[in-house]
Chains A and B, each alone.
Chain A
Amino acid sequence: MDENIKSKYQPVIGLEVHAQLLTRSKMYSADENEYGALPNSNLSVITLGHPGTLPRINRTAVEYAIKMGLATNCQITRDNLFARKNYFYPDLPKGYQITQDKTPLCTKGHVEIRLADGTVKPIGITRIHMEEDAGKSMHLAGETETLVDLNRAGVPLIEIVSEPDIRNADEAYAYLTEIKKLVQYLDICDGNMEEGSLRCDANISVMLRGAEKFGTKVEVKNMNSFRNVQRAIEHEIERQIALLEAGEEVISQTRGFDAATGTTQAQRTKETMNDYRYFPEPDLPPVIVDDAWLHRVQAELPALPQQLYARFTGELGLSDYDASVLTAEKDIALFFDELTRLTPGSAKAAANWMQGPVKSFLNERAYTMSEFPLTAQHLADIIGLIDAGKVNHSVASKQLFPHLLDNPSQSASEAAEQLGLLQQADSGELEGLIQQVLDANPAKVAEYRAGKKSLTGMFMGELMKLTKGKADPKLANQLLRDKLEQA
């Protein structure tokens, strides 16, 4: 699409993110909440919605939702009602979903996203509410029947609804990244869009730049990766602009994203949309969040990415880039945070270790940080040995670090000693060795003294051979020059 035409329009986007909570049991029953179990195995009469059954509230799920609310600067609703959302579908055993309608648990929050130019933009959170998942309908290729797996029915969800503050696909991507980061830091959802534990619907409209009234909004569903959310938004913006440019209207409807073609297809128009007939759930009393409960949840909140980011860039003086990379994943951020507390004053070195040797190792093995065999203490000791001049950096990264990875039960200094990697910091001994090198190369010494200073490298190489690389290069260099300049 012509950029000139495109730039006439302002896209307006709001996202609805569903996150499956990692509670042990379901939202309203004691059935196990487990991904990938044998179909229809985690079921009780309650999940099946058999006549006479009643829901029970999972307070852990409520707590998880409160955590997300606190992490996104929301107000927490104290008097929480539940509501029924009624519709017919074979994977919805009760004929309604128990959700929250008029009293969402969390309201009026925001998360901050960092744009490409480094500026920070707040995205409003309209609400976060609790609900239960439906089962899964499976349409197998070549089969006319639909199979229903009810394991997922009743799994606790939170729905995070953003304000229409997002202006393009990149912002949407950044917002989703923040949400995923938060749920992972809070340990309330594994944030896996491919497995469906994180799901996203996008409400998209376009209006002429400078207009005050939003255009007609279209809801896009069926995006199973962050990348596809981006693609769907990009496509939908262009589709809507093309309609308006052709003098047509955008119809309020639900569209599905087709990842194969990168396009969206109409599913339902507003006229044929369900009237969900929300009304207060009579089977559940209100859940009251009192001060004591709220304070306890608040006190139990782990360090959040924005707090770690602030510490990394502020107290530790790291760059925005380093801080972004190091807070992208919870396990890495927490490891690094611990590491910096063990190596005061060496934050940059610690950051380089994380982004260099540690990252390479994880990449090679396709490991996550949780599978990393060494402790923060190991890395702190390595950095300490380098700082103290006992091991030089390249030996540390090429020999000591790989050795420790294979022998994580050893401490760094034990390993350095065992491998004979400790530098000879003793200048007396080093001077003797330098003398040996010089004595063995009288012609080169003469050339140096005649002005060929570039021979320093050759002498250093010989010295390192002699010391098996253990000489502190800085000290060795100094002593070597001193010796050569003498006489």
Chain B
Amino acid sequence: MRRFNSLTEVRNELTAGSFTCRQLVEYYLDNIQRKQHLNAFLEVWADEARQQADAVDAKLAAGTAGKLAGMVIGLKDVLAYKGHTLQSSSHILDGFKSLFTGTAVQRLLDEDAILIGRQNCDEFAMGASNESSYFGPVRNDLDHERVSGGSSGGSAVAVQADMCLASIGSDTGGSVRQPAAFCGIVGLKPTYSRVSRYGLVAYASSFDQIGPLTCSVDDAALLLEVMAGPDEFDATVSHEPVPAYSRQLEPQAHYRVGYIRDTLERPGLAPDIKQAVETTIEQLRGQGHVVDAVDFPYLDYMVPTYYILTTAEASSNLGRFDGVKYGYRADDATDLESLYKKSRSQGFGQEVQRRILLGTFVLSADYYDAYYTKAQRVRRLIKEQTDELLRQYDFLILPTAPTTAFRIGENTKDALSMYLADIFTVQASLAGVPAISVPAGHDQQGLPIGLQIMGGAFREADLLAFAKHLTETVAASVTTP
């Protein structure tokens, strides 16, 4: 058995009879076992995965298999799957099992995906390095002293280290794209509302999107195609028709691409990453595409706006975890108030508490207008400006992150510097537009660089076609020494 980079490769082998789904599952289980030290999986559903594999093998033989037959997938620990533990990598959800399956996960199952386990992440998806997990950091397979990125760190490393073919993560401000960049894989955040959020543990509801982490753009397209679309359980989900993304990956000959001048002039941007983006720009021009530098006046406002709004929503979304109904309850409480205080102080980690406090503060009556209302206005400006740029240009390209994977512990002392690492990913989140991170070579230490492409709302088909084109022709040739 060898490493596979797309479901097409797997299906070819399955059709050729080289192996069965059952054997494929054993292969991944073996890798998971061997790479336990990476801490990517919190729980492995070995027996269930074997049973699913046998069922899919039977369906393949009968010719009744779904679109995802042969795809072995891991789920970030924020996705509800009936009868399975759901903990958001938090102590406060100790022992909690979901009573229902979320819409996106159900659609994967309906297309015969095999679900192999639950993946580590930052606690409640809050973090950029997977270091806020109650279960400890996930290690980057390229360098075990380095982070996986986050918050979908386990999901990214599981794909990077060949523990499953694809992972399903969630992206609120870059949580799919940034770990994908750190691990040298593909990570897609769809347009806000493209995929139902029913079954996704909420961090910041007006930002959260479920997205795939894959080796190939093709698989990202296929997974989006399966998961996207209307859902009666999510009132905010879009009713825009869902194209067959996986069959619309032919690029056009001429694109108009913009890049925000200031993104390449940020002081914190690693030189190798800047160079990778510049190289990409040159190569695109060489291919006959138009690539223009554009101005975007709100770059400095994006991180503060993002953190005001997401922490506000988070402080409310996490109110339900109170030690009363399920999950962790402090055993030394003396009355209701101390039950709340102790359960939440003991059950939530530091980063989550920091964000709940921030969010509670910005929503408090005396500060609401100064922070929340103002941030809402700035968000609208950012969205309008971004949409306008994406009318003028097919895509915007920019780095996914200012650095490659940093060392474990390097940024945990200073929350602000960790937040600033989100500088390039939060724009698409604030604007609600789709964005994808694709591998674009490595830095001088051999660590993967991610290139981010943003597209217009609901134009994932174009975005994916262009991303595929980039990975095949441009990014493949971007290699820094």
Contact = CB atoms under 8 A, between A and B. Distances in A.
B236 interface: yes
Interface string A214-251: 00000000000000000000000000000000000000
B360 A52 contact: no
B319 A88 contact: yes
Contacts of B363: 86, 277-279
B316 A283 contact: no
Interface string B188-205: 000000000111111011
A48 B235 CA distance: 18
A134 B244 CA distance: 43
A283 B205 contact: yes
Nearest to B99: A45
A199 interface: no
Interface stretch (A90-98, A256-264, A375-383, A424-432): A90-98
Interface stretch (A54-62, A157-165, A299-307, A477-485): A54-62
Contact of B364 (A49, A90, A277, A283): A277
B61 interface: no
A272 B199 CA distance: 36
Interface stretch (B173-181, B247-255, B320-328): B320-328
A279 B235 contact: no
Contacts of A52: 79-80, 86, 98, 100, 102, 197-202
A51 interface: yes
Contact of B320 (A94, A279, A285): A94
Contacts of A95: 316, 318-322
Contact of B236 (A50, A277, A284): A284
Contacts of A282: 204-206, 236, 313
B100 A45 contact: yes
A370 interface: no
Given A48-B325, A52-B102, A86 B316 contact: yes
Contact of B232 (A49, A56, A90): A56
A284 B235 CA distance: 6
A3 interface: no
A271 interface: no
Contacts of B360: 277
B471 interface: no
A55 B372 CA distance: 23
Contacts of A279: 312-313, 316, 363, 368, 372
A53 B319 CA distance: 14
Given A48-B325, A279-B363, A54 B233 contact: yes
Nearest to B86: A51
A93 B319 contact: no
A93 B317 CA distance: 11
Interface centre among A50, A84, A278, A285 (most CB of B within 10 A): A50
B107 to A, nearest CB: 15
A56 B235 CA distance: 6
Contacts of A48: 325
A2 interface: no
B30 interface: no
A49 B93 CA distance: 14
Contacts of A364: none
Contacts, number: 97
Interface in B99-125: 99-100, 102
B234 A96 contact: no
Interface residues of A, number: 27
Interface in A271-301: 275, 277-279, 282-285
A273 B86 CA distance: 35
Interface in A30-51: 45, 48-51
B315 A277 contact: yes
A84 B316 contact: yes
A285 B79 CA distance: 23
B203 to A, nearest CB: 11
Nearest to B336: A90
Interface in A466-480: none
Contacts of A88: 319, 322, 340
Main secondary structure of the interface of A (DSSP, over half): loop
B320 A51 contact: yes
B1 interface: no
A50 B316 contact: no
A146 B102 CA distance: 32
B425 interface: no
B365 interface: yes
A57 B199 CA distance: 18
B235 A55 contact: yes
A284 to B, nearest CB: 5
B325 A93 contact: yes
Interface in B223-246: 232-236
Contact of A275 (B102, B322, B365): B365
A277 B98 CA distance: 29
B148 interface: no
A50 B202 CA distance: 10
Contacts of B93: 51
Nearest to A279: B363
B152 interface: no
B429 to A, nearest CB: 13
Contacts of B313: 279, 282
A336 B324 CA distance: 53
Contacts of B88: 51
Contact of A94 (B197, B201, B235, B319): B319
Nearest to B208: A282
Contacts of A96: 316, 319
B259 to A, nearest CB: 31
A91 to B, nearest CB: 9
Interface in A91-110: 93-96
Nearest to A277: B363
A51 B235 contact: no
Given A45-B99, A95-B322, A275-B365, A54 B235 contact: yes
Contacts of B197: 52, 54
A101 to B, nearest CB: 11
Given A48-B325, A93-B325, A53 B235 contact: no
B64 to A, nearest CB: 30
Given A88-B340, A96-B316, A282-B313, A51 B205 contact: no
Contacts of B99: 45, 50
Given A84-B316, A86-B319, A50 B98 contact: yes
Contacts of A284: 235-236
A51 B80 contact: yes
B352 to A, nearest CB: 14
B235 A285 contact: yes
Interface string B330-369: 0000001000100000000000000000001001110010
A88 B341 CA distance: 11
Interface centre among A45, A90, A277 (most CB of B within 10 A): A277
Given A52-B199, A282-B205, A90 B233 contact: no
A96 B319 CA distance: 7
Contacts of B372: 279
A88 to B, nearest CB: 6
A54 B198 contact: yes
A53 B365 CA distance: 27
A209 to B, nearest CB: 34
Nearest to B339: A90
Given A95-B320, A279-B312, A279-B316, A53 B236 contact: no
A54 B195 CA distance: 14
A93 B320 contact: yes
6 contacts: A56-B233, A90-B336, A95-B322, A282-B313, A283-B205, A285-B235
Given A52-B198, A285-B235, 5 more contacts: A51-B88, A95-B318, A95-B319, A277-B315, A278-B363
Q: 7 smallest A-B Cβ distances: which pairs? A: A95-B319, A277-B363, A282-B205, A282-B206, A52-B80, A51-B201, A52-B199
Interface of B: 79-80, 86, 88, 93, 96, 98-100, 102, 197-202, 204-206, 232-236, 312-313, 315-316, 318-322, 324-326, 336, 340, 360, 363-365, 368, 372
